[in-house]
């Protein structure tokens, strides 16, 4: 297996400091190409590698499902940004989630999941993992006592998403990790909404971080991908085995695009946060809006916890329309700068109706979302254009 370039989060800058976030986003895993000096890691579009005699691997690579240099660059960068011992790049966020369940749990195990998680995560637990012998209970992860009550003798994992999709609830990672570890369960945090720029769950006690890199990490709505970053070597070995054995790996072209996006993560996230704060304040003062869900508002129930564990409050905003479901659907159809579409975290602003779109698979379950809810992925366009668009669409 390839050993990596050694640009780790603990490597000191010249003056003895650890490198900052954006320095690592641009350089970790991305040493200039030793052959040509190319400053951007090349796309190694190869399935296999010539061996110098049987077993004589030149760069540690033998077959691109097991390892590919473009993917390695991305994996090292992800590990550095999340502060983990190893990162793994997958074909999608859900492929990454599936690998975590199979690598770290046995049939018969039980998982506590958030009662407002991404709909696809819920579907994975409800329709796939249960058939494979895993049980789950959905609990409000903002409520420590409720999570404790949902835990059983056979609970092996607590699955956290924070901020949650789509209601932007905030879970206290440190407290939940303490609780789960006391009861012998692992802690997984889906860090997709925050990105490692705003929140680093491993430093707060989580064992595993998972991402849909399709979102903020890639950041340009041009690639689907997933990532897992882990706290220790033992977990890393299990994920590495399943990464290769199940094979849902990121291809070199996708790894290249994701790595290209990651370099600007810090500057993009700051602009997303600036714009989302302005949008949340605008909505909070609008007569047609019943409730704004944004952790940056002091009225948000998770505001203090978010302030403690996040650098800023993120680019996602959700709101409930005063006039009900049809009015919410109509707003989604009326915006012009906000594009009606699923997904999130790209430079362009998106709007959607979770109940009929991203979270339709949770209908009728504990994870069903309110029909009057609209979700915004606030992009990095000029904020005045975003506010004018929403003003027009809300009427
Ligand atoms: C919070 C969250 N986790 C995981 C996923 C799944 O990722 P992917 O679509 O890349 O499979 C998504 C997708 O929307 C998401 O929003």
Per-residue pLDDT tens for 141-155? 999 999 999 999 999
Q: What is the pLDDT of residue 2?
A: 44
Rg (CA), the chain: 21
Average pLDDT, the chain: 95
382's enclosing H/E stretch is none
The residue assigned the tokens 């979270």 is 359
Residue 164 CB–ligand 1 contact under 6 Å = no
In this structure, which residue's CA is closest to atom 16 in ligand 1?
A: 118
Residue 187 CB–ligand 1 contact under 6 Å = no
Q: What is the pLDDT of residue 17?
A: 84
Give me the phi and psi of 182, to 5 degrees please. Answer: -60, -30
> What is the second-level CATH architecture of the domain 21-262?
3-Layer(aba) Sandwich (3.40)
Average pLDDT over residues 285-303: 98
Separation of CA 357 and ligand 1 centre (Å): 13
Say which residues have a Cβ less than 8 Å from residue 328's Cβ, sequence separation at least 6.
320, 321, 353, 371, 372, 373, 374
What's the DSSP call for residue 204?
G
Instruction: Evaluate if residue 88 carries a pLDDT over 90.
Output: yes
In this structure, which residue's CA is closest to atom 12 in ligand 1?
A: 212
Say which residues have a Cβ less than 8 Å from residue 246's Cβ, sequence separation at least 6.
98, 99, 102
Instruction: At 363, list the tokens.
Output: 């209908």
Residue 192 CB–ligand 1 contact under 6 Å = yes
Q: What is the pLDDT of residue 12?
A: 58
Pick the CATH number of 266-394 from 3.40.50.9100, 3.20.20.30, 3.90.1150.10, 3.30.420.40: 3.90.1150.10
Residues annotated catalytic, as ranges? 65, 118, 190, 215
3-state secondary structure (DSSP) of residue 101: helix
Residue 92 CB–ligand 1 contact under 6 Å = yes
Residues carrying CATH 3.40.640.10, the chain: 21-262
Separation of CA 94 and ligand 1 centre (Å): 6
Give me the phi and psi of 302, to 5 degrees please. Answer: -100, 15
For the chain, the maximum distance between any two Cα atoms, rounded to a whole number of angstroms, is: 74
Helices (H), 247-302: 252-262, 265-284
Q: What pLDDT digit, counting tens, does each position of 324-364 carry? A: 999 999 999 999 999 999 999 999 999 999 999 999 988 88
Residue 199 CB–ligand 1 contact under 6 Å = no
Instruction: At 295, list the tokens.
Output: 């952790």
**Choice from 99, 122, 124, 165 to test ligand 1 binding pocket (greatest atom count within 8 A of CB):** 165
**Choice from 212, 216, 345 to test ligand 1 binding pocket (greatest atom count within 8 A of CB):** 212
Q: What pLDDT digit, counting tens, does each position of 138-194 carry? A: 999 999 999 999 999 999 999 999 999 999 999 999 999 999 999 999 999 999 999
Mapping DSSP onto H, E and C, the string for 258-270 reads: HHHHHCCHHHHHH
Separation of CA 60 and ligand 1 centre (Å): 32
Instruction: Evaluate if residue 4 carries a pLDDT over 60.
Output: no
Q: Tell which atom from ligand 1 comes closest to the C-alpha of 192.
A: 1
**For residue 320, how far is the Cα from the chain centroid?**
24
pLDDT confidence bin for 10, thresholds 50/70/90: very low
Q: What strand order describes the sheet that includes 339-340?
A: 289-293, 316-321, 373-377, 350-352, 339-340
Which runs of E-coded beta strand occur in 276-382?
289-293, 316-321, 339-340, 350-352, 373-377
pLDDT confidence bin for 18, thresholds 50/70/90: confident
Separation of CA 193 and ligand 1 centre (Å): 9
In this structure, which residue's CA is closest to atom 14 in ligand 1?
A: 343
Residues carrying CATH 3.90.1150.10, the chain: 266-394
Separation of CA 213 and ligand 1 centre (Å): 8
Q: What pLDDT digit, counting tens, does each position of 227-239 carry? A: 999 999 999 999 9
Of residues 63, 67, 129, 136, the one with CA closest to residue 100: 129
Give me the phi and psi of 111, to 5 degrees please. Answer: -125, 140
Angle between helices 265-284 and 383-394 (to 10 degrees): 40
Q: What is the pLDDT of residue 342?
A: 95
Say which residues have a Cβ less than 8 Å from residue 83's Cβ, sequence separation at least 6.
9, 200, 202, 203
Residue 120 CB–ligand 1 contact under 6 Å = yes
Cis amide bond preceding 166, omega within 30: yes
Separation of CA 214 and ligand 1 centre (Å): 7
- Rounded Cα distance, 273 and 282, in Å: 14
Contact assessment for residue 338 and residue 349, using Cβ atoms and an 8 Å cutoff: yes
In this structure, which residue's CA is closest to atom 8 in ligand 1?
A: 93
């Amino acid at each position: 297996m390839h050993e990596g370039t050694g640009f780790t989060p603990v490597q000191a800058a010249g003056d003895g400091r650890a490198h900052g976030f954006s320095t690592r986003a641009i350089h970790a895993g991305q040493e200039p190409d030793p052959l040509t000096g190319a400053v951007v890691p090349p796309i190694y579009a190869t399935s296999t590698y010539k061996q110098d005699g049987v077993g004589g691997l030149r760069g540690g690579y033998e077959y691109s499902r097991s390892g590919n240099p473009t993917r390695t660059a991305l994996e090292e960068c992800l590990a550095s940004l999340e502060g983990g011992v190893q990162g793994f790049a997958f074909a999608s966020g859900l492929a990454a989630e599936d690998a975590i369940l199979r690598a770290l749990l046995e049939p018969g195990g039980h998982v506590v999941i958030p009662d407002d998680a991404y709909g696809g995560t819920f579907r994975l637990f409800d329709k796939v993992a249960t058939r494979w012998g895993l049980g789950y209970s959905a609990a409000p992860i903002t409520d420590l006592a409720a999570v404790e009550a949902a835990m059983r003798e056979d609970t092996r994992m607590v699955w956290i998403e924070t901020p949650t999709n789509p209601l932007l609830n905030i879970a206290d990672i440190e407290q939940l990790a303490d609780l789960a570890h006391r009861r012998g369960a692992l802690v997984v945090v889906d860090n997709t909404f925050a990105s490692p720029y705003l929140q680093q769950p491993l430093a707060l006690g989580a064992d595993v971080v998972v991402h849909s890199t399709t979102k903020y990490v890639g950041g340009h709505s041009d690639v689907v991908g997933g990532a897992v970053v882990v706290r220790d070597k033992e977990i890393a070995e299990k994920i590495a085995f399943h990464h290769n054995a199940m094979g849902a790996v990121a291809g070199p072209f996708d790894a290249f695009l994701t790595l290209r996006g990651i370099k600007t993560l810090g500057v993009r996230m700051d602009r997303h946060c600036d714009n989302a704060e302005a949008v949340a304040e605008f909505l909070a003062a609008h007569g047609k809006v019943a409730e704004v869900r944004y952790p940056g508002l002091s009225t948000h129930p998770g505001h203090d916890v978010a302030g403690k564990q996040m650098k800023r409050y993120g680019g996602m905003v959700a709101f409930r329309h005063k006039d009900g479901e049809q009015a919410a659907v109509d707003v989604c159809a009326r915006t012009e700068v906000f594009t009606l579409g699923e997904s999130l975290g790209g430079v362009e602003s998106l709007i959607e109706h979770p109940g009929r779109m991203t979270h339709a698979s949770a209908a009728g379950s504990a994870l069903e979302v309110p029909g009057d809810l609209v979700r915004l992925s606030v992009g990095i366009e000029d904020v005045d254009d975003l506010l004018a668009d929403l003003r027009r669409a809300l009427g």
